Chains A and B, each alone.
Chain A
């Protein structure tokens, strides 16, 4: 344990067999544990099977207090009940993990899973991680997926580039309400298929009435464009002064340097303050465990973007961070057959988004709130 880490590292012997005995997860300095060479291990008083262990982990993972690092857990004032809950949750994982790691019955894979779950349990807030720590958690998540689903995913943790500030423009006169963007977004971002979660809403509004969201229909199904109507889309506007970020009690959501407002799904406690604070209905909550059929999972993922979420966390549009950070258009822009969606770098004076802002009559939704959304509407 030479390197400095923000969490306590438990060694189950699957990775560093040759390291000092004191770093063994079972706490013993000799024998009795699978990770030591030497005398045969003691008979386990109770054995936990891999399935039971997984279930226990699963169970504790849903608990709303699980995502704190050690420091935060112990430095925080809390009542007895919460303290007990936290302790039980962590103990269960710990006990299970130690049990599994020390068991001679459990396979290498189970041990590795336990090791990953342990380290994931006590990792820090993504914002505070060093680049190595970020890479490590990405590697763990990729490996975990591989162990559990037997499929390989590609996950990145690409940072914001200098001199980039993402912005979006939406042409109200061009949108025809086909909803290709909505479908493309769901496929790209691995949203829960059971609850049919969607980041984008296309509102069908009556001509001449202005923006009346209470009278608009965002779930129409008839031939479009319908006569006497126009269409406008809403999604997360990536405000430059985002109220959702201000209200988050655990700083699980923040504004990145390139203007993207992102969520760390492993730090979110699911309080939904941000959902209430957002004036644009831009955020979505996972009321149930999100499920995507394996063959439909988009395997090109980003830590802050479309990686698989879990029950009880917030998520939202990230302007397809896994695409936009590598120079690609978001899925909605690519899917739109009308060219109503324009995306680009606001700081580049030659970009098309800048041309739109400078040459068309643009406006933003609820501009008076001062949230400074980076999503402009315009007309031909």
Chain B
């Protein structure tokens, strides 16, 4: 009888030990992430080198601080006032010559909601303007987009929307809205896939 008791006790003990995951400590990866990130120390690795030649600026939005590419240096004809030295009405003429910005067509929301002056200020061409008429720097154009696209803005800040630059380690760098979307025609065009696996096609014939 005593022997039986001991055996039962032993078996129970074995069960207790084996209940946990093979590697010992955690039942699943979620539990492991939660537990191990409590004692997380910043790692020494840096992704800075992988940002490459991209000129960046640091922004802080809410709880998130990260780098985005600098914009003004990428706009060929910036500063705008180098041409826009006179008020717009003086610069417009009806002669059928090739006009500046001939290639820009606005296909963004509809005409009731948006036209040029929704974002540009005819009296201050060097800056963008918010819906309430406040000045927005060209480098921080995401502030303009986020006025309407609030959920995308939330996702972008957190890292669920948009493209990371370089590496996963710190410092975090991400593309800003206009690096992927043309602000005048933000819809991304459909295209063909870059590759086709002819071997796979042959095997499946």
A residues sitting closer than 8 Å to B (CB atoms) are 161-165, 169, 171, 174, 176-180, 182-183, 194-196, 198, 218-225, 240-241, 324, 326-329, 333, 336-339, 342-349, 351-356, 359-360, 370, 372, 374, 378, 380
Chain B residue with Cβ nearest A324: B168
**Least CB distance, B56 to chain A, in whole angstroms:** 16
16 A-B residue pairs with Cβ-Cβ distance under 8 Å, sorted by A, are A163-B41, A174-B161, A176-B190, A179-B195, A194-B199, A219-B204, A224-B191, A327-B49, A327-B50, A339-B161, A339-B175, A352-B172, A353-B159, A354-B37, A355-B158, A359-B158
A-contacting residues, B14-57, CB 8 Å: 21-22, 28-29, 32-33, 36-37, 40-47, 49-50
CA distance A344 to B173 in the complex (A): 13
CA distance A342 to B158 in the complex (A): 11
CA distance A131 to B7 in the complex (A): 45
Are A326 and B40 closer than 8 Å at their CB atoms? Answer: no
CA distance A370 to B43 in the complex (A): 30
B residues sitting closer than 8 Å to A (CB atoms) are 21-22, 28-29, 32-33, 36-37, 40-47, 49-50, 151, 155, 158-164, 166-169, 172, 175, 180, 188, 190-201, 204
CA distance A372 to B31 in the complex (A): 11
Chain B residue with Cβ nearest A330: B168
**Least CB distance, A317 to chain B, in whole angstroms:** 16
Are A328 and B195 closer than 8 Å at their CB atoms? Answer: no
**Least CB distance, B28 to chain A, in whole angstroms:** 5
**Least CB distance, B178 to chain A, in whole angstroms:** 14
Extra 6 A-B pairs, beta carbons < 8 Å, given A161-B45, A327-B45, A329-B50: A179-B194, A196-B200, A240-B32, A328-B50, A351-B159, A353-B159
Known A327-B45, A327-B47, A352-B159; judge A347-B193 contact (CB<8 A). no
Are B22 and A241 closer than 8 Å at their CB atoms? Answer: yes
List, in ascending order, chain A residues with CB within 8 A of B190's CB.
176, 223-225
Known A326-B45, A333-B164; judge A198-B32 contact (CB<8 A). no
Are A380 and B155 closer than 8 Å at their CB atoms? Answer: yes
Chain A residue with Cβ nearest B38: A349
Are B192 and A224 closer than 8 Å at their CB atoms? Answer: yes
Interface of B, helix, strand, loop or mixed by DSSP: loop
Are B36 and A352 closer than 8 Å at their CB atoms? Answer: no
Chain A residue with Cβ nearest B37: A347
CA distance A326 to B49 in the complex (A): 10
CA distance A352 to B180 in the complex (A): 19
CA distance A338 to B40 in the complex (A): 31
**Least CB distance, A287 to chain B, in whole angstroms:** 11
Known A165-B33, A165-B36, A224-B191; judge A356-B159 contact (CB<8 A). yes
List, in ascending order, chain A residues with CB within 8 A of B28's CB.
240, 370, 372
**Least CB distance, A194 to chain B, in whole angstroms:** 8
CA distance A339 to B193 in the complex (A): 16
List, in ascending order, chain A residues with CB within 8 A of B198's CB.
196
Which A-B residue pairs are the 7 nearest by beta carbons? A352-B159, A355-B158, A339-B163, A196-B199, A240-B29, A327-B169, A179-B193
Are A372 and B29 closer than 8 Å at their CB atoms? Answer: yes
Known A333-B164, A343-B168, A356-B160; judge A163-B40 contact (CB<8 A). yes
Are A337 and B193 closer than 8 Å at their CB atoms? Answer: no
Known A326-B45, A346-B33, A349-B37; judge A198-B197 contact (CB<8 A). yes
CA distance A349 to B158 in the complex (A): 12
**Least CB distance, A215 to chain B, in whole angstroms:** 14
Chain A residue with Cβ nearest B65: A350
**Least CB distance, B66 to chain A, in whole angstroms:** 9
List, in ascending order, chain A residues with CB within 8 A of B29's CB.
240, 346, 372, 374
Chain B residue with Cβ nearest A359: B158
List, in ascending order, chain B residues with CB within 8 A of A169's CB.
160
Known A327-B167, A360-B160, A374-B29; judge A339-B172 contact (CB<8 A). no
Known A327-B47, A339-B180; judge A352-B166 contact (CB<8 A). no
CA distance A348 to B180 in the complex (A): 27
Are B191 and A327 closer than 8 Å at their CB atoms? Answer: no
Known A219-B196, A221-B192, A221-B196; judge A347-B36 contact (CB<8 A). yes
**Least CB distance, B173 to chain A, in whole angstroms:** 11
Known A329-B168, A339-B175, A359-B160; judge A177-B193 contact (CB<8 A). yes
CA distance A22 to B167 in the complex (A): 52
Are A349 and B40 closer than 8 Å at their CB atoms? Answer: yes
CA distance A347 to B199 in the complex (A): 40
Are A345 and B158 closer than 8 Å at their CB atoms? Answer: no
